[in-house]
Chains A and B, each alone.
Chain A
Amino acid sequence: MNTLLYDGTFEGLLTAVFEIYDRKLHHVKLITGEWRNEALFEEVIPVITDESRANRVLRGLRKKLSTAGVQRLYITHMAEIAGEDSNILGFIRYVFDSDINIEEDYGNRYVMRLSEILKMVRREKHRMEAFVRFQKLKDGTFYAGIEPDFNVLPLLIKHFKSRYADQKWMIYDIKRSYGLYYDLHDTQFIAMDFADGGKPANVIAAYSEDEGIYQTLWKNYFTSVNIASRKNTRLHIRHIPKRYWRHLTEKI
């Protein structure tokens, strides 16, 4: 058993795959983190992310998978679900070991597992597109805090950028301490130091004048459209799991 340590990026992963094939390693384990000599034992092989090696692996994948297939692989890795690297690696190996495109071989455990992960990630991405609640701040920026289970913020760029083109907005992943900011032209990732200024929870102090009114109107609306004689709490919670409620205006 060989353990490979890589930096957690997709490029890093592809570089690791290159190493595995280059050194003809068979039983491997992937871990992510920073290389620190003193903390690790000698059998760990550090992978230095290398663009040209990663690209060679990517080209290989492109030959054997459809464009959508490569995209799906990327998304499942991006989500950073603990312990899934070995399945992703298993999938990649299966791709390279086969002569034909194996994307639809759902009888295979790696293909199946990837399709499961993809489903979970897509669902959370979709939920974030639905459950982001912007609050308008004094400077006109629309701010939203989120705490998704998976790292889906990068997957949200396209949707929000093409939707809110005429307002400045920021979506901040409180769990992972980084955000996405759109300045009317481009989006960029930002890390904010909330120590000076407001904590995400304290944005209320920075509300624009009419923010409170619209929040109240929305809450009222939410109550008005309910049909009491059809109440179905279980169904309600299945649609909006409780862990999302703390960022939903109508649920606070």
Chain B
Amino acid sequence: MNADRITEKLNILADAAKYDVSCASSGSNRKNKDKGLGNASNGICHSYTEDGRCVSLLKILLTNHCIFDCAYCVSRKNNDIKRAAFTVQEVVDLTINFYRRNYIEGLFLSSGIFKDADYTMERLVRVAKKLRTEHNFNGYIHLKSIPGASDELMREAGLYADRLSVNLEMPTEAGLKLLAPDKNRQDMIDPMRFLKNEIVKNTEEKKLFKSTPMFAPAGQSTQVIVGATPESDQQVLQSANYFYKNFNLKRVYYSGYVPVLADQRLPALNTAVPMVRENRLYQADWLMRFYGFHVNEIVNDGNPLLDLDIDPKLSWAIRNMQVFPVDINKADLQLILRVPGIGLQSAQKIVGARKFARLGWEQLKKIGVAINRARYFITCNSNEFERRDLTGQNIKQFIMAESQSKYIKNSQTQFSLF
């Protein structure tokens, strides 16, 4: 192995892949078989970059040569950068050796498009096939499908990969046309639909025949870039919701646009990365997937933008004061989940614990409820009720003032999911 050459390639092709955010490694159920190497189930973050993002997979491009010219992408045809390409074997060796040292959960392989969609996709599939069949590797593999790739290749990809993704890139077709003139929505949707149908078919077959091979057991995901084009949060979340519903996606990732190129169609190079907005979108996405919120409750014509000051659940609550106060000792789990400051785990604990005794503020605090927020929205085993006759706006100000002073005290940015 030529160490210097490999190092250089890795630097170039890891650097180019880093803007893709979909790197989770959970949701599969691949077991170690025949005393081989690895398994894939619970998803582990093995490290964290200095910007605080999780490192779970070896995330690289097979090549950053590309015949397309997407304005937001460092690998675009007309960008003057160093190009490199891995061989299939080089990617396999890196994956195996990193995995054996417990650096990673597996591989996330993406690629610029050399020649055409199928030519590129075929190579991605070859890497996965080699890992599975020649090395008995059972770690996680996520392949990024190349838009426009043929059904046969997608089918083969599904046999070896745990997850497949086709990136939508822009929340709307118009945004895509503007920034990625070589791409079109249909080329993304076709493979997504194909995968969805194959996954459904596979699940059916598995019920009948245990020996049916796995097909993309961790499902498919996609990514949209936020802040490169002027779409509202309503458009972003409506589009996410549409793809969740119609293509059974496991995840939609929101990637705050990092300005990397000067282009008059794009935000200027010194534009800040919309990190708070990105975080709010993830919070809203959680509300849709785990908290039973309908997308229209979070964003709608009256509120097309997420509030950057407060999280979307609090924002919904102060717009819907008629729902509150919620009685902690009586309300359904679904309603308790809607209280700001109460997360999934706390809500379940509350429902378990109140069978023994009525809960007061002390117990709620111990259970992990963020009392500073929840107290305006609940009643419990106590005469104290904080809301008095406060309006939603009052409450927002109180909570913000409090987190402001906390912010100053710790001088710490906290992005927490409720």
Whether B371 is near chain A, meaning CB under 8 Å from some CB there, is no
Whether B391 is near chain A, meaning CB under 8 Å from some CB there, is no
Measured in the bound complex, the distance between the Cα atoms of B14 and A247 in whole Å is: 23
Instruction: For chain B, give the interface size range.
Output: 35 or more
Are A224 and B11 in contact, with the CB atoms below 8 A?
yes
Please report which residues of chain A, range 155-194, place their CB below 8 angstroms from some CB of chain B when the two chains form the complex: 162-167, 184
Contact with A along B288-305 (1 / 0, CB 8 A): 000000000000000000
Closest partner residue, chain B, to A185 (CB atom)? B35
Are A142 and B101 in contact, with the CB atoms below 8 A?
yes
* Chain B: minimal CB distance from A111 (Å): 8
Please classify the interface of chain B as helix (H, G, I), strand (E, B), loop, or mixed, using the class held by over half of its residues. Answer: loop
Are B15 and A225 in contact, with the CB atoms below 8 A?
yes
Partner of A164, one of B1, B37, B258, B412: B37
Given contacts A225-B18, A230-B273, contact A105 B102 (CB under 8 A): no
Which among A166, A167, A184, A231 has the highest number of chain B CB atoms within 10 Å?
A: A166
Q: Point out the residues of chain A lying under 8 angstroms from B7, CB to CB.
A: 216-217, 220
Are A108 and B50 in contact, with the CB atoms below 8 A?
no
Contact with A along B66-82 (1 / 0, CB 8 A): 00000000000000000
Binds A, one of B51-59, B155-163, B198-206: B51-59
Instruction: For chain A, give the interface size range.
Output: 35 or more
Whether B382 is near chain A, meaning CB under 8 Å from some CB there, is no
Are A136 and B31 in contact, with the CB atoms below 8 A?
no
Are A214 and B413 in contact, with the CB atoms below 8 A?
no
Measured in the bound complex, the distance between the Cα atoms of B256 and A232 in whole Å is: 15
Given contacts A162-B39, A225-B49, A230-B275, contact A104 B97 (CB under 8 A): no
Whether B355 is near chain A, meaning CB under 8 Å from some CB there, is yes
Whether A37 is near chain B, meaning CB under 8 Å from some CB there, is no
Measured in the bound complex, the distance between the Cα atoms of B6 and A252 in whole Å is: 21
Measured in the bound complex, the distance between the Cα atoms of B367 and A16 in whole Å is: 30
Are A107 and B15 in contact, with the CB atoms below 8 A?
no
Q: Point out the residues of chain A lying under 8 angstroms from B46, CB to CB.
A: 130-131
* Chain B: minimal CB distance from A129 (Å): 6
Given contacts A163-B39, A213-B1, A227-B18, contact A240 B32 (CB under 8 A): no
* Chain A: minimal CB distance from B4 (Å): 10
* Chain B: minimal CB distance from A218 (Å): 5
Q: Point out the residues of chain B lying under 8 angstroms from A44, CB to CB.
A: none
Partner of A217, one of B10, B51, B273, B275: B10
Are B101 and A218 in contact, with the CB atoms below 8 A?
yes
Whether A74 is near chain B, meaning CB under 8 Å from some CB there, is no
Whether A102 is near chain B, meaning CB under 8 Å from some CB there, is yes
Measured in the bound complex, the distance between the Cα atoms of B18 and A222 in whole Å is: 11
Given contacts A107-B357, A220-B11, contact A234 B50 (CB under 8 A): no
Are B49 and A165 in contact, with the CB atoms below 8 A?
no
Given contacts A112-B366, A162-B32, contact A167 B37 (CB under 8 A): yes
Contact with B along A95-111 (1 / 0, CB 8 A): 00000001011111000
Are B50 and A226 in contact, with the CB atoms below 8 A?
yes
Please report which residues of chain B, range 1-60, place their CB below 8 angstroms from some CB of chain A when the two chains form the complex: 1, 3, 6-7, 10-11, 14-15, 17-19, 31-32, 35-39, 44-55, 58-59
Closest partner residue, chain A, to B33 (CB atom)? A165
Partner of A224, one of B18, B53, B355: B18
Which among A102, A106, A130, A240 has the highest number of chain B CB atoms within 10 Å?
A: A106
Whether B115 is near chain A, meaning CB under 8 Å from some CB there, is no
Are B273 and A226 in contact, with the CB atoms below 8 A?
no
Given contacts A133-B102, A224-B11, contact A233 B413 (CB under 8 A): no
Whether A42 is near chain B, meaning CB under 8 Å from some CB there, is no
Partner of A142, one of B55, B59, B100, B273: B100
Are B14 and A221 in contact, with the CB atoms below 8 A?
yes
Whether A210 is near chain B, meaning CB under 8 Å from some CB there, is yes
Whether B356 is near chain A, meaning CB under 8 Å from some CB there, is yes
Please report which residues of chain A, range 133-164, place their CB below 8 angstroms from some CB of chain B when the two chains form the complex: 133-136, 142, 144, 162-164
Partner of A227, one of B11, B19, B58: B19
Measured in the bound complex, the distance between the Cα atoms of B52 and A55 in whole Å is: 47
Q: Point out the residues of chain A lying under 8 angstroms from B275, CB to CB.
A: 230
Closest partner residue, chain B, to A171 (CB atom)? B102
* Chain B: minimal CB distance from A64 (Å): 14
Measured in the bound complex, the distance between the Cα atoms of B107 and A221 in whole Å is: 13
Q: Point out the residues of chain A lying under 8 angstroms from B17, CB to CB.
A: 225
Q: Can you offer 21 A-B residue contacts whose CB atoms are under 8 A?
A: A104-B355, A105-B353, A107-B359, A108-B356, A130-B45, A133-B102, A163-B38, A166-B35, A210-B1, A214-B101, A218-B103, A220-B10, A222-B47, A222-B49, A226-B50, A226-B51, A227-B53, A229-B273, A230-B52, A230-B273, A236-B48
Q: Which 6 A-B pairs have the closest CB atoms?
A: A235-B52, A104-B352, A230-B51, A106-B353, A224-B14, A239-B48
Given contacts A107-B356, A224-B15, 7 further A-B contacts (CB under 8 A): A135-B101, A165-B35, A214-B97, A214-B98, A232-B413, A249-B101, A249-B103
